[in-house]
Structure 1
Amino acid sequence: MRVLLSTVLLFSLLLQTPLQAAEQIVSDDGREVQLNADGSWEYKSTDRFATTADGRRVRLSADGQWAYTGEKSAAGQKVVSDQKYIDEQSLDIVLSDVVIETVKGKKAPGSKNPRKKTRSVFYLTVNLDKSAEADLSATLNTRDFTVEDTDGRNYPVTAVEPDLVSIKPAGEAQITVYADGSPHWWTTKSMTVTVNKTVFASNKAISLSRPLAEAKKKQSDSFE
């Protein structure tokens, strides 16, 4: 009788306990997700979220627009090796890609293997915040960029495209930096391209790094 009474009391308490309210979270891929009390879940919107290098949260809308949420990442400042935020110019600079290109030439006399020429290509994306008060223009020269790797090797910068970038608020520009030579795949850990501080009037030079393991390889008949 006591066992039955205890079971009835426990069942009554469970009925009186309210179900846990739905919880809003952000998934690892940056999308808003609602966790329902019944064990189900659903996406709340098609927007995604990201964190800038200085820890600010950004909402990325499906229509291609973006805006700061006014929040800071719970983890504090996020250290991203291939992304830099320049507060004084409201600029966000990302090292989008690194490609190691190889061109096979003719065989040298007495050699079984053809000669090879290589170059390292860095693709940078520059975004200007929509809160910027004016357009940003910058003239680019090879002397404004330097390239090095973790083995201490320096690579001469041979070309930069375009010669001039002009970015409107909420706009972006693509910059391609070409450097002669390539790293040693078996020893080099990463490569770094550095932008002189005078290019975007920043307080210091901007260094963007990428692990060599993430670099792409490309075989070509000639360098375009």
Structure 2
Amino acid sequence: LLTNSRGIHGIPMAEHILGTMLSFSRCLIEAWENQKAHQWKRLTAPDELYGKTAAVVGLGSIGREVAKHLKNVGMRVVAVKRKKTTEPFVDELFDTGNLGEALSKADYVIVALPLTPQTHQLFDSRAFNMMKETAFFINVSRGDVVNEDDLVDALSSKRIRGASLDVFAEEPLPEDSPLWDVENLYITPHHSSISPMYLDRSLKIFRNNLQIFPQRIGMLNVVDKMRGY
């Protein structure tokens, strides 16, 4: 019997994603660069998240929390998961066989998938070619879910508008990685899940499971060893 701490990362990761999206849509990075250069430049391209479409790929505990946050700012949310279920914060749900249709609708693509043989480098040139040229891509799941060379090509050729990565195939990200110098790519050092509430939330799950372990009924977050998560 194996359990994990699934669910404790949802809130900080959803806030990280929303913050990244707002930084991109409201051009906050450009404003910060202008501030450092002591330049007063009114930005001409700020946009709204309201009314835009976000595709959440992977609808576990993190994906659901992301969908909830995005609905609260007025976005339309489509999502991709293995099996169709009723989801209160999702406007349209696709199974994994229809990933391309979900990607083609999205202004923002958020990846919250586990790494399995089926998801390894799922986001490659073929997936990026399915997205809008104005799409912004965010990965907070596992680095190997993305083919990083194909992402560099997609950004460098303006095939998609921008991206944000919090996870990488190799960590720490090597100093000579081409990712560092790609325009419109935000890099964070795998910190989207960090929160002062981490220990409290994980201990709550552990305490519950420890108390009911003798009966092994109602235990939280039992891992499916066949699926790998």
Is the helix fraction higher in 1 or 2?
2
Asked if Structure 1 and Structure 2 have the same fold, meaning a TM-score greater than 0.5 normalized by the shorter chain, the answer is no
Is the strand fraction higher in 1 or 2?
1
Normalising by structure 1, report the TM-score.
Answer: 0.24
Normalising by structure 2, report the TM-score.
Answer: 0.23
Higher relative contact order (CA 8 A, sep 6+): 2
State which structure, 1 or 2, has the greater radius of gyration over its C-alpha atoms: 1
